[in-house]
Amino acid sequence: MTSPITVAHIVTKLELGGAQQNTLFTVSHLTAARFRPILIAGEPGLLDGEARGLPGLEFYQIPSLVRPIRPWKDLRALIALTLLLLRLKPAIVHTHSSKAGILGRVAAKLAGVPIIIHSIHGYGFTPGQPPVPRRALVMMERWIGRFTTRFFSVSEANRKLGIGLGLFPEERCSLVRSGIDLDAFRSVVVDRGAKKRRLGLSVERPTIGMVAPMKPQKAPLDFVRMAALVSRIRPDAQFLFAGDGELRGAMEVEVARLGLGQAVHLLGWRRDIAEIMHCLDVFVLTSLWEGLPRVYLEALASAVPVVGTRVDGAAEVIAEGVNGYLVEPGDMQAMADRVLCLLADPDEARRMGARGQTLPAEFDIRSMVRQQEREYERLLADLDERKSLSEAAGCGTPANN
């Protein structure tokens, strides 16, 4: 009986983000008879305990692997990752996020891992970044791309950008959507009134919500500013933000400054997002950059219209005027105007929400895992073929002379 193939996934931090949750789902749903899953994470995160509790999963942590650039810590993380991979001897290393993507792929190369995969959930170089560090990051991605066997991109926009910047050739990047459990979100049954009361919300007032970490990429202060603009026209509107992070203090200050203490509810990290989605009249996302926001899929599957920013892969799921609206990043007046339109016409908002439930199967999380497995199998077959050809070429048989 053939032993399972060892696949090591590497992430920087197991927080409540789409990439991290999808990685946990992947490693816990790979076909056990075929693959032996390993998960390596860096600095402590909220999902560490969940990872440790997954049956059949080997979980390792490298605390020196952190998000900010810290040269000495980064060097220690690289050494630790390389030594760990040398010991574990995976056939496949699959990295996620920018820092883990850089250090993890270099460590895999140093450890002689034959197949190195990187999932693009967005890039480390971002809009508005100073030119010098942006160029440095692009050059680093090009260099690492030379020994990356395969790229998975969650959006066609990120795929085209990577090809255009010379990070990888077209034939080495596959579109693998960041999926959700479509049926779970579509079939949630919740007493909307009771749930809103438990969240500290009014049952009668329209509710606009956002789900995201409170970090610069998500521009959570823009959410507060949008809420202020909507409240001027619709003082009955209420707003909830599910998430936490480094900008929570700044958000609290902005809420107080704009006099929104009674209207904006900061819920912190939540594990009941499916139920919360079903309490919303409009879902918003103020991100400055994304790969393809998983929360868009969660809102659409919950029949909630979306008003979000036109970043990266957003237009691949949000059809303008059909299931939502997109505005330019930072244009909170435009976002507020779109939200007000939906609040003014609840019937149209419900119709838009219903249209959003018709997401194709490519966005289902189980389809995502099966597609990744097919990619693994193809790469393993290619590797076996190359080994066979190399052995045949080296044995000196007449057929090869």
Sheet-wide strand order for 306-309:
264-268, 238-242, 207-211, 282-285, 306-309, 324-327
Closest CA to 118 of 147, 87, 90: 147
Helix, strand, or coil (residue 54): coil
pLDDT along the chain (401 residues), means of 10: 91 89 95 96 94 94 92 96 98 94 97 97 84 91 96 95 95 94 90 95 97 94 98 98 96 97 96 95 95 92 96 92 96 98 96 91 94 97 87 58 33
The number of CA neighbours under 13 Å toward the Cβ of 356 is: 30
What letter does residue 241 receive in the DSSP assignment? E
Longest dimension (CA), the chain: 85
Q: Token pair for residue 149? A: 């066997």
Q: Supply the pLDDT for residue 263.
A: 97
Asked if 218 and 212 touch (Cβ cutoff 8 Å), the reply is yes
pLDDT of residue 390: 76
pLDDT at 395: 59
Nearest to residue 104, comparing CAs of 120, 124, 85?
85
Domain 182-360 of CATH type 3.40.50.2000: yes
What is d(CA 16, CA 101) in angstroms, rounded to the nearest whole number?
18
Q: Which pLDDT score, from 0 to 100, does residue 126 have? A: 82
Q: Where are the domains of the chain?
A: 5-179+364-388, 182-360
- Report which secondary-structure segment, H or E, holds 151: strand 150-153
Q: Which residues of 192-212 are buried (b: 16+ CB within 10 A; e: fewer)?
A: eeebbeebebeeeebbbbbbb
Q: Please, what is the end-to-end C-alpha distance for the chain in angstroms?
A: 35
- Fold equal for 5-179+364-388 and 182-360: yes
Q: What is the CATH number of domain 5-179+364-388?
A: 3.40.50.2000
Q: What is the model's pLDDT at position 35?
A: 97
Cβ proximity of 94 and 71 under 8 Å:
no
Residue 397 pLDDT: 43
